[in-house]
Amino acid sequence: MRPTLQQLVELAKESNITDPIDWSNLNVSEDTVYEMIGLSVIEMLDKIEGKDAEIIMSASILKLTVENFVLNLRLNGKI
């Protein structure tokens, strides 16, 4: 079962509770960002349909998590 955009956005926002983002310093709204990226995720799901989606999505999550980790290190002057 493929998630809807609304389901993705709601779940992603719920997970943000532990590490909130200060949206007041950005020139884009929280809803706009979640919806734009949510649409990209849905498009990616469409492209991988029929393939081993679980492995591909897990690899995508891992890649994004590593990129986020490196970005945080850079922002904190660690690298």
pLDDT tens profile 12-71: 777 766 667 788 888 989 899 889 888 887 887 777 766 677 777 777 777 788 888 888
Say if CB 61 and CB 41 are below 8 A apart: no
Please give the backbone phi and psi of residue 48, each rounded to the nearest 5 degrees, phi first: -100, 5
Does 76 have pLDDT greater than 70?
A: yes
As for how many domains the chain has, the answer is 2
**Same domain for 40 and 15:** yes
Residues 29 and 56 in one domain: no
Domain that holds residue 73: 52-79
Mean pLDDT of 2-7: 83
- Same domain? For 56 and 31 the reply is no
Choose among 53, 47, 40, 49: nearest CA to 12.
40
One domain for residues 40 and 57: no
Q: Do 24 and 43 belong together in one domain?
A: yes
Residues 44 and 64 placed together within one structural domain of the fold: no
